[in-house]
Structure 1
Amino acid sequence: MNRTIKLCVLGGSALATPMLFESMGRQNARGSYQVCLHGRDSQRLAMVKKISEKITCQFPDLDLSITATLDMREAIEGAAFILNQIRVGGLKARLFDETFPRKYGIPGEETVGPGGFSNALRGIPVVLDHCKTIEKYAPQAVMLNLMNPSSLIQYAVTRYTSVNVVGTCDTPVSTCRMVSNALGLPKDKSRVSWFGMHHFGWLFDLAVDGQSRLDAVFGQLERMANLGVDPEIVTALRAIPAPYLKYYFHPDRMLAMTEGRKPRAEQLIEVFAQLENAMDHWSEGQPLDFMQQRGAGWYDKIVVPTLLALAEKRESDLILSVGNEDSVAWLPKSAVIEAPVAISEGKIGRPRIPASIPEDIQGMIMRNCAYEMLAVEAIVEHDRSKALRALQSNLLVKDFNQVRGIMGEIWPEEARPAFKLIAAEKPAAEASSGAGKPGFAVPTLHYGEKAIERMPLREKKYAVITMEIPWVNIRQRFPRDPEVVVYVDELDWYALEAIERSLPEIDLVVGVGGGMATDGAKFVGWKRRIPVDVVPTITSVDASVTKSIAARSGGHVTYIGYVVPRDVYVDYPVIRGAPKRLNRSGVGDILCSHVALFDWKLSHDHTGEEYDPSAVDQMKTWLEKIETQAADIEAMNDNGIRLIMNAFEDISIICRKFGSSRPQEASDHTFAYNAEFQTGKKFLHGELVALGAYVLATLQNNDPEYLRDIYSRTGILWQPRDIGLTRAEFANVLGTLNWYQKNFGRRYSILDEVHIDSAFIEMVQAKLDF
């Protein structure tokens, strides 16, 4: 293999580009490569080139040289392979794609739905222009497309140019590995049956040594972190959808999970700013650990394997996007399909199509295919009618009103509605939130001996979401009767939706009880866009003052929606009348920040995650208050009640100012969620996270005895014996905790740094009571 292989990287100034060369080194690229990075920013291009060369030096056997240029012809001329990874408009454009569809009740995403259409509208003309240069100066080159929305880009290239293009996406690899891991199978050793389109694919079977393992999959669905859809869907269809199918099966949930939260693009803007700063200030001799800050698994999983299979004539079996031709009779020949292909002698073989594809899945794929082809043709041909038809064909778009609204947002020269929006001018005193006040809605807390009797109940019709015992105890104290009372005992998605659908027309919803009743009320208020008031009957959880709803899906907790209770009525007699154990448990959700702050700093140091010292100081102030007023909490007198509720309120504000619950929860909550998942039991949340905080503080070597002392003085129960966790269950929870973090963990923590072994489990067990 003596000839030099030229690889052109379009979008070569992308900050993740150096990881391409790391992947080539780790996968033992044996060819002689000349790589030319093309970009539009000379300084950034030079920076990426410098880091890339340093990474290349870590692999002495890697025969690879790197150049960089702003000149398109220079980059492309003579290339055998072209990696297309450009992002037209950058992350700010992606932010638009992820947010504008929400106006129309559609989740935003850069590859599916209206967001994907908007992305294609920007990207396709640019790619086709680049293809003219490829046709002229590298007509034999193979384009590996990584640019999104991938299959729309690929269809545009194949329909309107002569460029040879193949689509690469890591989603099929990730999905197949997820299933293999759940079954305990070796990585990439299964023969898979896969078919669909980009971000619209399905795993129909996987076999080991010729034996199908599909039936075994159905018993492991809840262990698959990125399944995305309800297990019931999988068992009904007998096929595993790619994670992006969750947008089509659960659009309401996907919308709920993004409301009131930073879009992915906004998070990446922050990450890339930190990464670019680290790259820019890097100098010879310093480590390159910061390059792991932004994962780039697509190079390792699919781009480099495809490149090496084609360039070095390696025998491979990969899932790629290729032309249909006559592989599937029920799709147009020009369609772009995603399927396994064998690569031999540098040539891509015929797609391997599953023997049987259910008709309903065929129907979904056909409709998605119609959308993609119409969308591309509309964009290239500037055909408004085809654009309307494309959007109406999209599975996320329900009606033509949405189509017209979307067109008004993104279609060039689309006639805009004839109205003018004029914002009312606010008095100077109201222009800002004022000193010390947050710039967002917060609940008003009302304390007193007769707080319930003083409830104004301003709305005419209201419903109460509660549980039987709390309601029986206080119903006579309400100023007037509600239209309806609902007892809630489950918080999974279907239960919440059933509750909301069962209610008559109301103007207000009141949650009476603990976290379950409050989250149920918040769900109804969020869905109906009506006010939510709360009467907490215990101080065990902070749901009455937070903006999110804790719902369960697939056995795991998911935080959804954006709804802030309007008024919270803290009635002292009601809370004093509850078992002190329940009330004291709330302190666990405050003290767990001792562990969360450690994890946060660890993540900042190791991944560059944003860190806010002022938020840390505010959280530590609350830890000190709990420590000094522990006796009030133990007694659960009025001061103790007020302390816990004020802490909940203020910590919620701290977290919302920062943008997430990072200052309050981390590996301690991961422990709690895994305990619930592994045992199938229900626990008092505050007690469970208190145990988790002690265990994880021990793992962190972060003064766990400090927590034990405060637990003792506040009276919170937290020992496994007290909360109902057996020795065997505890050992299993700890033994699977690293696995749970890897698959379901929400944030980087000590669990990403330290592996829990049997010695640690035995050591911690010796300190606990069972």
Structure 2
Amino acid sequence: MRLVVLGGGGFRVPLVYGALLGDRGEGRVDEVVLYDTDPLRLRTIARVLADQAATSATTDAPRVRVTTDLDTALRGADFVFSAIRVGGLEGRATDERIALAEGVLGQETVGAGGIAYGLRTLPVVDRIARRVAEVAPDAWFINFTNPAGLVTEAMSRHLGDRVIGICDSPVGLGRRVARALGADPATVEVDYVGLNHLGWLRGLRVDGKDELPRLFTSAALLESFEEGRLFGADWLRSLGCVPNEYLHYYYFNREAVRAYQQADLTRGAFLHGQQARFYARAADPTVPALATWDEVRAEREATYMAESREAAGAGERDEASLTESGGYETVALALMRAIARDERATLVLNVRNRSTLAGLDADAVIEVPCRVDSRGAHPLPVDPLPAHALALVTGVKAVEREAMAAADAGSRAGAVKAFALHPLVDSVSVARRLVDGYARAHPGLAYLR
């Protein structure tokens, strides 16, 4: 089975390959094609993968090919995994800087930064979706490119239900809550619903019984895991559910923006510098590629969402939080197994709504538990969201739709509308200045007129 990785020179690709090395099932991936527009990054990551294969216990590691030609990569694909970053980490750092200068959040998937990133990315993924539909119409497309919900919905216009978005945040949240309650994460059923990076864990069933109410009876239990420390026991009790960690940017927006503004480096700037050093070092054939990658990855994971934890007084990210995330590569592998082998599984995925969530239309991509089999991902029924959550979901979905319309029409006025309507951008004047600033900084936004 052939897996194509778009963004194959990306830093986290070895996570995917590591998961494949551990898969011993029948019909497993035996060929990986890495596609990227940067030959140096491709060669560097290919070196890391070669080290992984050499140190693995398996004797038949998936063979690896690299290419900078998209059609060549796509031909014969069974699955296509996308983790591209249009504009690179330099673009992310620029997104953050311009937003923070206006006093609004610049995070890459939330608020102004997410819209800017989306507007750069939408024309590119639209072209990719058209090529997939033409060159590899039978392939399943697994999207991890951010903003994941927006990108998945845009691509679904060409690929239908054969594009499925993934994220490891809901998986990690469910596992951490299960551990806090003394349950086995592998056996629980989660009631989770929302959009990507905008969802809520509303129930956690063990042998059919919802154990989540027990969590709210104890402040010690509530603050024993990452999200509990991030949001605080009192706020979680008020909500009666556990939000995805990215909702900290909404519920504590002023504190988050202030923490970003006071940080020595934004997350994007930190990662840009860190990865630039990694690729420069690992390009040297005398440097052990995998050992260098492992060292950099550990630092990256330990500093994840550092600004939000600082704003909340949540302290350092603990070791259990790092190991409970599950990893997007684990989600991707489980999804591929379920489809390719008809190994039925229940996974939280980004899929078209149909009639699942009241308040949104059929084509809106949402993030919910799905039953997966050889025919794809099928969203499971969910209860309606409470008014406060539905307001956020519908508001952000409206912004995503405005961003898609602006990208389709190449409309600067449409881009301003998308920014201005976002709950975390509180001024049309600020929206106009953001569009002007981003258009000056990013050649990829020259299409907006």
For residues 146-157 of structure 1, the aligned pairs below 5 Å read 146-157=144-155
In 1, Cα distance between equivalents of 2:25 and 2:438: 43
Specify the alignment match of 1:201 in structure 2.
Answer: 199
Instruction: List gaps (5 residues or longer) in structure 2.
Output: 302-325, 440-444
* Alpha-carbon distance change, 162 to 373 in structure 1, aligned in 2, over 3 angstroms: same
Moved more, 315-324 or 184-193: 184-193
1:323·1:334 contact (CA, 8 Å) conserved in 2? yes
1:271·1:294 contact (CA, 8 Å) conserved in 2? no
In 1, Cα distance between equivalents of 2:104 and 2:344: 43
Aligned amino acid, residue 252 of structure 2: H
* Alpha-carbon distance change, 59 to 277 in structure 1, aligned in 2, over 3 angstroms: farther
Q: Identity, % of aligned pairs?
A: 27
Q: Does residue 56 in structure 1 map to residue 53 in structure 2?
A: yes
Secondary structure, counterpart of 1:206 in structure 2: strand
Q: Does residue 376 in structure 1 map to residue 404 in structure 2?
A: yes
Which structure has the higher relative contact order (CA within 8 Å, separation 6+)?
Answer: 2
In 1, Cα distance between equivalents of 2:341 and 2:142: 15
TM-fit CA distance, 1:318: 0.6
Specify the alignment match of 2:239 in structure 1.
Answer: 237
Specify the alignment match of 1:13 in structure 2.
Answer: 9
Secondary structure, counterpart of 2:335 in structure 1: helix
In 2, Cα distance between equivalents of 1:380 and 1:54: 43
Secondary structure, counterpart of 2:392 in structure 1: helix
For residues 480-491 of structure 1, the aligned pairs below 5 Å read none
Aligned amino acid, residue 89 of structure 2: L
Equivalent position to 1:358, from 386, 390, 406 = 386
1:205·1:239 contact (CA, 8 Å) conserved in 2? yes
Specify the alignment match of 2:350 in structure 1.
Answer: 321
Secondary structure, counterpart of 2:388 in structure 1: helix
For residues 28-107 of structure 1, the aligned pairs below 5 Å read 28-30=24-26, 31-57=28-54, 58-60=56-58, 62-107=60-105
Secondary structure, counterpart of 1:294 in structure 2: helix
Aligned amino acid, residue 273 of structure 1: A
* Alpha-carbon distance change, 23 to 397 in structure 1, aligned in 2, over 3 angstroms: same
Aligned amino acid, residue 185 of structure 1: A
In 1, Cα distance between equivalents of 2:161 and 2:383: 31
TM-fit CA distance, 1:162: 5.4
TM-fit CA distance, 1:327: 1.8
Secondary structure, counterpart of 2:34 in structure 1: strand
Q: Does residue 273 in structure 1 map to residue 273 in structure 2?
A: no
TM-fit CA distance, 1:63: 5.0
Q: Deviation digits for residues 378-417 of structure 1, max 9, x if unmatched?
A: 112223443333223211112222222222222557999x
Q: Deviation digits for residues 127-154 of structure 1, max 9, x if unmatched?
A: 1112222121101111100111111111
2:96·2:105 contact (CA, 8 Å) conserved in 1? yes
Equivalent position to 1:402, from 430, 436, 440 = 430
In 2, Cα distance between equivalents of 1:328 and 1:415: 33
In 2, Cα distance between equivalents of 1:415 and 1:308: 41
TM-fit CA distance, 1:334: 1.1
Equivalent position to 1:248, from 247, 250, 267 = 250
In 2, Cα distance between equivalents of 1:413 and 1:318: 38
Specify the alignment match of 2:306 in structure 1.
Answer: none
For residues 135-534 of structure 1, the aligned pairs below 5 Å read 135-159=133-157, 164-218=162-216, 219=218, 220-227=221-228, 228-261=230-263, 262-281=265-284, 288-292=290-294, 293-294=296-297, 298-344=327-373, 346-411=374-439
* Alpha-carbon distance change, 372 to 79 in structure 1, aligned in 2, over 3 angstroms: same
TM-fit CA distance, 1:248: 0.8
Specify the alignment match of 1:722 in structure 2.
Answer: none
TM-fit CA distance, 1:278: 4.5
For residues 725-740 of structure 1, the aligned pairs below 5 Å read none
Q: Deviation digits for residues 594-617 of structure 1, max 9, x if unmatched?
A: xxxxxxxxxxxxxxxxxxxxxxxx
* Alpha-carbon distance change, 414 to 131 in structure 1, aligned in 2, over 3 angstroms: closer
In 2, Cα distance between equivalents of 1:211 and 1:61: 44
Aligned amino acid, residue 15 of structure 2: M
Q: Deviation digits for residues 588-636 of structure 1, max 9, x if unmatched?
A: xxxxxxxxxxxxxxxxxxxxxxxxxxxxxxxxxxxxxxxxxxxxxxxxx
In 2, Cα distance between equivalents of 1:335 and 1:356: 15
Q: How many residues align?
A: 410
Moved more, 95-104 or 273-282: 273-282
Specify the alignment match of 2:320 in structure 1.
Answer: none
Secondary structure, counterpart of 2:42 in structure 1: helix
In 1, Cα distance between equivalents of 2:59 and 2:338: 18
TM-score by length of 1: 0.51
Specify the alignment match of 2:318 in structure 1.
Answer: none
In 1, Cα distance between equivalents of 2:78 and 2:284: 34
Moved more, 258-267 or 29-38: 29-38
For residues 593-612 of structure 1, the aligned pairs below 5 Å read none
TM-fit CA distance, 1:283: 5.2
2:346·2:372 contact (CA, 8 Å) conserved in 1? yes
1:120·1:149 contact (CA, 8 Å) conserved in 2? yes
TM-fit CA distance, 1:246: 0.7
Aligned amino acid, residue 338 of structure 2: A
* Alpha-carbon distance change, 375 to 187 in structure 1, aligned in 2, over 3 angstroms: same
* Alpha-carbon distance change, 61 to 326 in structure 1, aligned in 2, over 3 angstroms: farther
1:16·1:291 contact (CA, 8 Å) conserved in 2? no
Instruction: List gaps (5 residues or longer) in structure 1.
Output: 417-770
In 2, Cα distance between equivalents of 1:17 and 1:364: 33
In 2, Cα distance between equivalents of 1:59 and 1:130: 36
For residues 693-704 of structure 1, the aligned pairs below 5 Å read none
In 1, Cα distance between equivalents of 2:75 and 2:339: 19
1:134·1:163 contact (CA, 8 Å) conserved in 2? no
In 2, Cα distance between equivalents of 1:20 and 1:154: 19
Secondary structure, counterpart of 2:128 in structure 1: helix
In 2, Cα distance between equivalents of 1:324 and 1:147: 19
Secondary structure, counterpart of 1:223 in structure 2: coil
Secondary structure, counterpart of 2:86 in structure 1: coil
Specify the alignment match of 2:317 in structure 1.
Answer: none
Aligned amino acid, residue 343 of structure 1: V
In 1, Cα distance between equivalents of 2:446 and 2:76: 39
TM-fit CA distance, 1:115: 0.3
TM-fit CA distance, 1:291: 2.6
Secondary structure, counterpart of 1:108 in structure 2: coil
Secondary structure, counterpart of 2:114 in structure 1: helix
TM-score by length of 2: 0.85
Aligned amino acid, residue 82 of structure 1: V
For residues 126-141 of structure 1, the aligned pairs below 5 Å read 126-141=124-139
In 1, Cα distance between equivalents of 2:328 and 2:172: 12
Cα RMSD of the aligned pairs, angstroms, is 2.4
In 1, Cα distance between equivalents of 2:398 and 2:117: 18
* Alpha-carbon distance change, 96 to 355 in structure 1, aligned in 2, over 3 angstroms: same
In 2, Cα distance between equivalents of 1:26 and 1:64: 11
Q: Deviation digits for residues 520-549 of structure 1, max 9, x if unmatched?
A: xxxxxxxxxxxxxxxxxxxxxxxxxxxxxx
* Alpha-carbon distance change, 44 to 403 in structure 1, aligned in 2, over 3 angstroms: closer
In 2, Cα distance between equivalents of 1:311 and 1:33: 13
